[in-house]
C-alpha cells in the first residue's frame, strides 16, 4: 500500500492519502502467479466450482454452487469433498441447515487470499454463467 501511494509512513506516523477510495491491499503479484499455477492444475469442474464459490464469499454451501452451475448437488459435494481432502484451496466445515431447511455441506476457503486470487480471474464478460460483483 505504501508502494501504491495509498498510505504514507513518516517518522513513526501512518497517514492514509486516499481516504475517499476503498483501500484494497489485493493479492501480491508473485502470490497471484503461484496460485494461478496451482489453479491451472485443477480439473475444469474443480475450477468452475471454486470460481462460483469465490463469488459467493469466504463460506459457501455445495447446494448453492450446484444450483449456480446447474449441476447435481451430490456431484458438487463430492468434488468439494475431494478438494478439501487434498487440502487444496477449501476445507469442509460443519454441516448447516440451509435457508430452504435442507442439510447441505458447508465449505470455506483455506485462506482469504485463495478466494481473492480466484475471484480476480473472473471478468463479467467471461464468468462461468454469472456476473462477478
pLDDT at 129: 43
pLDDT band with cut points at 50, 70 and 90 for residue 127 = very low
pLDDT of residue 75: 95
**pTM check: above 0.75:** no
pLDDT in tens, 110-120: 988 889 889 88
Burial class for 133, CB neighbours closer than 10 Å (0-12, 13-18, 19+): exposed
Write the pLDDT tens digit of every residue in 45-60. 999 999 999 999 999 9
When comparing pLDDT for 132 and 19, which is higher? 19
Answer yes or no: CATH 1.10.10.10 is held by domain 24-121: yes
Distance CA 82, CA 127 (A): 24
- What are the pLDDT digits (tens) for 59-115? 999 999 999 999 999 999 999 999 999 998 999 997 655 555 566 789 999 988 889
pLDDT of residue 108: 95
Confidence of residue 131 (pLDDT cuts 50, 70, 90): very low
Amino acid at each position: 500500500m505504501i508502494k501504491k501511494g495509498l498510505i504514507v509512513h513518516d517518522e513513526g506516523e501512518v497517514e492514509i492519502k486516499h481516504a475517499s477510495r476503498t483501500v484494497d491491499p489485493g493479492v501480491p503479484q508473485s502470490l497471484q502467479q503461484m496460485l494461478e499455477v496451482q489453479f491451472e492444475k485443477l480439473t475444469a469442474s474443480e475450477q468452475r466450482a471454486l470460481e462460483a464459490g469465490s463469488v459467493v464469499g469466504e463460506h459457501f454451501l455445495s447446494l448453492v454452487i450446484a444450483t449456480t452451475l446447474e449441476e447435481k448437488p451430490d456431484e458438487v459435494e463430492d468434488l468439494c469433498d475431494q478438494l478439501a481432502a487434498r487440502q487444496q484451496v477449501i476445507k469442509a466445515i460443519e454441516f448447516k441447515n440451509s435457508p430452504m431447511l435442507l442439510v447441505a455441506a458447508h465449505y470455506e476457503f483455506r485462506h482469504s487470499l485463495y478466494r481473492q486470487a480466484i475471484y480476480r480471474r473472473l471478468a463479467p464478460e467471461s464468468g462461468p454463467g454469472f456476473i462477478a460483483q
